[in-house]
Chains A and B, each alone.
Chain A
Amino acid sequence: MGKAEYKVKDGKLIRVQLVKKENRIEKVKITGDFFLHPEELIEELEQALAGRELDESNLAKSIRIVIEQKGATLLGASPEDFTRCIVMAGEKDD
């Protein structure tokens, strides 16, 4: 399992725990002091990311789509910040 921590400038702290398999996400947990409305979307987002390739631009796009489709709001972090932390955690899972 890989762990990473990323502090968003003028924003919140993101922590990611990730298990990867052949450069794909097998399991991911995103924690931190950010705000996501509705809150329950975080579990859905984590599930939606399982099986995705650890590719920075595609991941950011996927996260953005999930958030927009649900009319959700992310405060204190962006989909790109989430992605960055996910990729960092992926690099540590060897």
Chain B
Amino acid sequence: MTEKWRLLDTGLHNAFYNMALDEAIALARSRSLVPNTLRFFRWDPSAVSIGYFQSMEEEVDIQACKQRDIDYVRRRTGGGAVYHDRDGELTYSLLIGRDHRLISDDFQETYGTLCSGLTSGLKRLGIPAEFKPINDIIVAGKKISGNAQTRSMNVVHQHGTILREVDPTLMFTLLKVPNEKIRDKLIRSAEERVTSTNRYLRREVAFEELKEAFITGFEDAFNIELVPGEILEFEEKLSAQLKVEKYATRGWNFKR
């Protein structure tokens, strides 16, 4: 019988709830309250997230974010600063027990395995994507997805982006650049190094179509069945708490 995982589609939420719910699911998974889980989500308002080890002041133009009502949040995972556009990105999270067959002691190997679900989904859309170590997925040499992983409490948590539309000019308005002189150069280089489903396929790919492709992509690559499920009350309560006490606080977001 095919192994069953929970599928969550939590829709549009702000950055603090989004990050809090990921951590709440990780804890629920570690207590075996829930099965392994694939979650899809989006960001409303659009937001910038930074990696655990980054400095908010160094990476993010706070004023530019405030002017546009864009949130900023520190992730529990490492990696770089990302602009999550409300309509330009589908975000996913995987929460998997540490002892699962897909998980290796080796982080790099596990990135490769888990990202195979994404490349499989992209291929279904007609995008011949491939995994590029350390943590990217590229098509025709351009990045279309970035991913970040952490482990705690015997649970592997990987989340990442699936770019639907890209706007490098906006991205480099919100992220800090070393100096104004190179801003245009960075924008041009991002135009060349980053792509999206809509750009590559030269058509509008609806969020529903994206999700369907990735559901089948993950099912095929992982040999699992994704069963639509609900957020537990435990997860809902914990995420509300983590949102207020951690992810929405200045202490957490500016701690480095």
Bound Cα distance A75, B58 (Å): 21
Binding-face segment, A30-38, A47-55, A57-65: A30-38
Check A39 against B256 for contact (C-beta < 8 Å): no
Interface string of B100-143 (1 = CB under 8 A from A): 00000001100000000000000000000000001100000000
In the bound complex, residues from chain B placing their C-beta under 8 Å from that of A35 are 77-79, 107, 134-135, 148-149
Which residue of chain B has the shortest Cβ distance to A13 in the bound complex?
B80
* Pair B107/A37 contact, Cβ less than 8 Å: yes
Q: Interface on chain B toward A: helix, strand, loop, or mixed SS?
A: loop
Q: For the complex, what is the distance from the CA of A73 to the CA of B52, rounded to whole Å?
A: 15
How far apart are A66's CB and chain B's nearest CB, in angstroms? 15
Give chain B nearest CB distance to A47 CB in angstroms: 14
Take A31-B53, A35-B149 as given contacts and tell me if A73 and B107 are in contact as well, using a CB distance cutoff of 8 Å: yes
Residues of B within 8 A of A15 (CB): 55, 58
A2 within 8 A of partner (CB): no
Q: Are B108 and A33 in contact (CB under 8 A)?
A: no
Cβ-defined contact, B134 with A11, below 8 A: yes
Would you give the shortest CB distance from B73 to chain A, in whole angstroms? 15
Q: Are B150 and A34 in contact (CB under 8 A)?
A: no
Question: Within 8 Å CB of B108, what residues of A?
Answer: 75
Q: How far is the CA of A34 from the CA of B134 in the complex (A)?
A: 10
Determine the distance from Cα of A42 to Cα of B51 in the docked complex, in whole angstroms: 13
